[in-house]
Amino acid sequence: MDEAEKIKIIAEHYGYDSQSRQCIEEMAELTQAINKWWRVCGNGQRTEKSIAECRDNLVEEIADVQIMLWQIEYLLLSTPEVNQMITQKLNRQLERIKRE
């Protein structure tokens, strides 16, 4: 079974209400993980955590958010639509960089 099939089964099992709330929770956890990474790198208030722990946490929270975004995309949108928007945005940003 590929990742897309697993996402479909999980998204259909729990549904949009549950997964959209879970997505919000995971985004908050990723926010914390990014902030913790800043702190472990010496920016802001010191943290007891090690660089390895913070890095592992960052990997986990990015994965959690990506999984939730894939489910929202599956339940509400269409992958080609999202991919097309990603392509447009990346191209636009590259154009801005070229003009800098």
Enumerate binding residues for Mg ion (CB under 5 A): 26, 29, 64
Residue closer to Mg ion by CB (options 26, 71) is 26
Quote the tokens at residue 98: 């070229």
Q: Are 20 and 55 in contact (CB under 8 A)?
A: no
- Using the minimum distance from each CB to Mg ion, give the nearer residue, 25 or 81: 25
Tokens encoding 32: 């914390």
Nearest to 65 by CA among 22, 13, 18: 22
Q: Kindly state the smallest distance separating residue 68's Cβ from Mg ion, in Å.
A: 9
Q: How far apart are the first and last CA of the chain?
A: 45
- Rounded to a whole number of angstroms, the minimum distance from the CB of residue 25 to Mg ion is 7
Q: Toward Mg ion, which CB reaches closer, 56 or 78? A: 56
Query: In the complex, what is the shortest distance from the CB of residue 36 to Mg ion, in angstroms, rounded to a whole number?
Result: 13
